Amino acid sequence: MHPGKIIILLGLATVALGAALVWAPWLLSWFGRLPGDIRMDRGGLSLRFPVMSLLIVSIVLTVLVNLIARRL
């Protein structure tokens, strides 16, 4: 695939994600709240490590990229 097409697709995906965050935030409300995600709140300090959420996002992106790569 031509590098220019990849950049355009990444830009469109970024715009779609941004639109979902602005106009439909409930679609991504699960992120960081799954079992396996680590959250520590102590006093004025809050740390979040979305381990399971990032694992699921990684698996989904891997499957999508492999499906797209096979079509080309």
| Residue 63 pLDDT | 93
Q: What count of other Cβ atoms lies within 10 Å of the Cβ of residue 57?
A: 12
pLDDT in tens, 9-67: 889 989 998 998 899 999 888 888 899 999 999 989 999 999 999 999 999 989 988 88
- How many angstroms from the chain centroid is the CA of residue 5? 21
H runs (alpha helix) in the chain:
3-23, 51-71
> Cα 61–63–67 angle (5° rounding)?
115
**Would the pLDDT of 3 be above 90?**
no
